Amino acid sequence: MTQISTAVQTLTHPVTNAPESPTAISSPALVHHPPIHVHKPAAPAHPHPLEIAKPAPPLADLAPAAVRKPLTSHTFPRTKTFNSPWCMTYSPYTASGNCKSSSAITSDVASIAAKGFSSIRIYSTDCSGLPIIAAAALTHNLNLVLGVYIPPDGIPAARPQIQDIIDWASSSSSSSPNTRNPSWQAIEMIVIGNEALFNNHCSVPSLATFIAEARSVFRAAGYTGPITTAEPLDVFIQHKRTICPVSDVAAANIHPFFNPQISAHQAGSFVASQLKLLGELCPGKEAWILETGWPSRGSPNGKAVPGKWEQRVAVEGIARAAGRRSALFGFVDDQWKEEGEWGVERNFGCGGLF
């Protein structure tokens, strides 16, 4: 569910790169969603989206932690307690797909911090993402999960974002040679590509080469933290022999709604089971979920029913079962997207639940 408003639509299709091994996915397997990344909205696939009106249970257990300590040195992402969700994804776009104003972005980031999240994930360096989003994040003691987005044009179009990150970190560095760069320290993870293989934006070998290339450049610039990529779990499994060696951590996007056998009440246990499987794919490397959530509007996908009450139940279950290692998707609804199959692609915003 790549969050770049200027990307073009991709068709629903399997990854064309040949699988490396016939590794099976544990049951129940994740049935991934069709990619919808279009700037111009289209008519919904279903004209009558279902929304069930039920009393919403409170999220009292998701109260923000009272204090978040700043990073003093760079470490891999830290495991959080349940009361302090790890990460929220954020896309700085208006409903029309344009960039939000700096004041709106700053306000959003402040809200994410106030809700108790420890980190914020962004997908690219567009919309002045680093000067505005990162500055606000540092002000509010949020750590950064930064993305290098690989567009349909492929890897060459993604390379300038690496330099964008380095330029930002360099311009924010301390003037004292004996002081660590606070910008590099605040970056918990750099994600090279988001569902780039699933969307056929590049080949498996070229992605692996690009990750290794990016790591070399970032290490030379002073960044010592984890570098990885994000794919749906089934794609990760299919290409684990190539992805694992070039990834410092195992990371995947896991969306329970797109499995028609999973209800909102089962979302938490499903995500936890998929996280466990992810952790077994790259021995010795930590596992992290970089997108997960549930839609608040749309049409049913089997047992997976969208709705405000269902979203609350699902998100609470995910937070309880896997919140310490999950980035919730996303802060607000993405009205700039197409509705997509089941009419849900715009409707994953869950920041209001916290």
What residues are annotated to the active site? 195, 291
| Cα-based distances in Å from 304 to 231, 289, 294, 301, 345 | 21, 20, 9, 5, 14
Nearest to 294 by CA among 248, 326, 325: 326
Rounded CA-CA distance 157/151 in Å is 7
Cβ atoms < 10 Å from Cβ of 167: 14
Q: Are β-strands 119-121 and 287-292 bridged in parallel, bridged antiparallel, or unpaired?
A: unpaired
- Interior angle at CA 191, CA 318 and CA 197, nearest 5: 90
Q: What is the chain's Cα-based Rg?
A: 19
Rounded CA-CA distance 209/34 in Å is 26
Rounded CA-CA distance 228/207 in Å is 11
Phi and psi (nearest 5°) for 294? -160, 140
| DSSP letter assigned to residue 61 | G
Residue whose tokens read 């930002």: 168
Rounded CA-CA distance 6/227 in Å is 25
- Interior angle at CA 295, CA 289 and CA 299, nearest 5: 135
Helix (H) or strand (E) holding 147, with range, is strand 143-148
